[in-house]
């Protein structure tokens, strides 16, 4: 689940705190990095649980209406399509899902207002009304409904963002990418898998774990030399006037360029230019693009940038 895009961002965030703080060793920083990654994986389950909890809230609303002093015919015979959603029923029984929630004690019990608000937003959506008014729905439509809910309701709810930030400092800025992972997971759900349906693992494979460690330590160990390279290619700028985040992003980019011969240059450059656009100043993307392009040209000229072309059978 934790892909290399997110790993690069996490590494930059951890290094920013490292350089702004004092007294931390490289191993301490590595531990913080992987703790941050684990917390993001927690968020994957925490947000996924909203599907079950919003459904439970809908059930409570139906029961409450049935128990009114003078229930209407609609209250007595409600449309139960939403609460009977087969995808949510499968998720509710998922072994991996329930085990993780219990082991990590993830709960929305202290934030009932978020569940209520999300439910009310869902029922106000046109796609919800269309779903409820169809003559028949199948498993695929049940999944599609929740993909829409996460994309068009959960992802866009500002109060949810605030709640997430209050619950953990490690979850700040992670909601969008985690929701994309949830939508991907829903798409992969297979009814035949039942309670054994696999959810996304924390890492795709061990290579990504090693990528994170090597990139992090590469910057820590060679940060000064990378800053010297950056300084040489920003001679028209005073280094202390360049945004610190821009320098850090370029340091991490240089570490990846130098230490990962199988990652194409254009892939590395594009990734860090995008990170700069989202995490630094408005002009950072263009600035970093120009500086890194000059550095790459010089490294190639000096035969210091070695790249290996990988062939697949």
pLDDT along the chain (313 residues), means of 10: 94 94 90 96 98 98 89 88 98 98 96 97 98 95 98 96 91 92 98 98 95 97 94 79 91 97 95 94 91 94 81 45
pLDDT at 239: 62
SS3 263: coil
Query: Rounded CA gap, 151 and 179, in Å?
Result: 7
Q: Which residues contact 295 (CB under 8 A, 6 or more apart)?
A: 229, 230, 233, 250, 254
H or E, element range at 228: helix 206-232
Query: Is the entire prediction scored with pTM above 0.85?
Result: yes
Give helix 4-20 / helix 244-259 axis angle, nearest 10°. Answer: 130
pLDDT at 69: 84
CB count, 10 Å around CB of 141? 16
Q: In this predicted model, what pLDDT tens digit does every residue of 174-197 receive, in sequence order?
A: 999 999 999 999 999 999 999 999
Q: Which residues contact 55 (CB under 8 A, 6 or more apart)?
A: 82, 83, 85, 88, 92
Q: In this predicted model, what pLDDT tens digit does every residue of 75-86 receive, in sequence order?
A: 788 999 999 999
Query: Rounded CA gap, 62 and 248, in Å?
Result: 54
pLDDT at 290: 94
Query: Rounded CA gap, 190 and 293, in Å?
Result: 45
The torsion angles phi and psi of 173, rounded to 5 degrees, stand at: 75, 5
Q: Which domains does the chain have, with CATH numbers?
A: 4-196 (no CATH), 206-301 (1.10.940.10)
User: What are the CA-CA distances from residue 128 to residues 121, 123, 141, 300 (Å)?
Assistant: 10, 6, 11, 56
pLDDT at 313: 44
Query: Strand (E) positions, 179-252?
Result: none
Q: What is the DSSP letter of 251?
A: H
């Amino acid at each position: 689940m934790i892909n290399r895009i997110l790993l690069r961002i996490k590494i930059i965030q951890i290094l920013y705190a490292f350089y702004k703080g004092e007294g931390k060793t490289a191993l301490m920083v590595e531990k913080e990095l992987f703790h941050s990654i684990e917390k993001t994986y927690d968020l994957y389950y925490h947000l996924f649980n909203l599907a079950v909890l919003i459904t439970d809230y809908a059930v409570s609303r139906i029961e409450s209406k049935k128990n009114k002093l003078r229930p209407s015919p609609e209250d007595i015979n409600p449309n139960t399509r939403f609460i009977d959603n087969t995808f949510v029923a499968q998720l509710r029984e998922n072994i991996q899902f329930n085990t993780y929630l219990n082991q990590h004690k993830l709960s929305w019990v202290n934030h009932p207002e978020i569940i209520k608000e999300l439910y009310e937003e869902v029922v106000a959506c046109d796609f919800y009304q269309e779903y409820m008014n169809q003559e028949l729905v199948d498993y695929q439509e049940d999944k599609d409904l929740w993909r829409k809910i996460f994309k068009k309701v959960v992802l866009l709810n500002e109060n949810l963002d605030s709640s997430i930030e209050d619950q953990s400092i490690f979850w700040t800025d992670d909601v969008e990418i985690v929701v994309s992972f949830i939508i991907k997971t829903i798409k992969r759900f297979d009814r035949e898998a039942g309670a054994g349906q696999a959810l996304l693992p924390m890492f795709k494979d061990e290579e990504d774990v090693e990528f994170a460690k090597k990139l992090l330590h590469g910057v820590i160990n060679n940060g000064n030399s990378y800053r010297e390279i950056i300084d040489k290619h920003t001679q028209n700028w005073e280094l202390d006037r360049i945004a610190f985040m821009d320098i850090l992003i370029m340091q991490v980019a240089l570490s990846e360029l130098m230490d990962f011969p199988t990652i194409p240059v254009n892939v590395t450059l594009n990734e860090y230019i995008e990170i700069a656009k989202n995490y630094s100043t408005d002009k950072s993307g263009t600035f970093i693009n120009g500086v890194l392009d000059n550095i790459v040209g010089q490294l190639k000229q000096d035969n210091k940038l070695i790249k290996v072309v990988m062939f697949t059978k």
